[in-house]
Amino acid sequence: MLLANYQFNEVFGATFRYSHENLEEGAFDSDADRLTFALLFTITQNLFFNVEYSHAEVDTTSGDYDVDEFYLEALLTF
């Protein structure tokens, strides 16, 4: 995995992540490359929002496919 995170100011930050997964179980082989980009927002001292987009390319013995995911996360600390 490769991760790069940059905090632009106290309110806004961004993260880029790349990961590669290799799975071998008997006759089943799978490789996956995933790219993720996240935007991090600080609303208050205790409330944070994370907006994330992820794209994965999966190669298996039974076929190849792509996966796109979108996440919206709210974090409340106390």
pTM of the model: 0.79
Query: What is the tens place of the pLDDT at every residue in 33-60?
Result: 999 999 999 999 999 999 999 999 998 8
Distance set, CA 68 to CA 3, 29, 47, 57, 78 (Å): 19, 21, 27, 9, 33
Mean pLDDT taken over the chain: 92
CA distance linking residue 73 with residue 6, whole number of Å: 19
What is the pLDDT, as a whole number, of residue 39? 97
Q: What is residue 61's predicted lDDT score, i.e. its pLDDT?
A: 82
Q: CA 49 to CA 44: how far, in whole Å?
A: 10
Measured between alpha carbons, how far is 77 from 75 in angstroms, rounded to an integer?
6
**Is the pLDDT reported for residue 62 higher than 90?**
no
Beta partners for residue 52, in sequence order: 38, 71
